[in-house]
């Protein structure tokens, strides 16, 4: 988990993934970047139906992040 957190704190983390960050750069569902495990996690998160956009409020909960949650 520590490596996962350190990865996302790096300034160019998105360069090594296809599914992480704002939007995705994957050409298809099986298209993964250099950090495959991280991409799998981001892909699962992107495909999940019950998400909140950055700044959105649902059920008295607000996503204060600029990213979906």
The DSSP secondary structure of 20-43, one letter per residue, reads SSSS---SSTT---SSHHHHHHHH
* 35 among known catalytic residues: no
Which one from 28, 31, 35, 45 is the annotated catalytic residue? 45
Nearest to 3 by CA among 25, 19, 16: 16
| Strand (E) or helix (H) holding 58 | strand 57-58
Question: Which positions are annotated as active-site residues?
Answer: 45
């Amino acid at each position: 988990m520590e490596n996962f957190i350190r990865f996302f704190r790096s300034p160019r983390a998105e360069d090594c993934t296809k599914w992480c960050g704002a939007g995705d750069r994957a050409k298809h569902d099986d298209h993964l970047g250099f950090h495959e495990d991280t991409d799998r996690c981001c892909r699962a998160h992107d495909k999940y139906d019950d998400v909140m956009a950055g700044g959105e409020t649902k059920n008295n909960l607000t996503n204060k992040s600029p990213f979906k949650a």
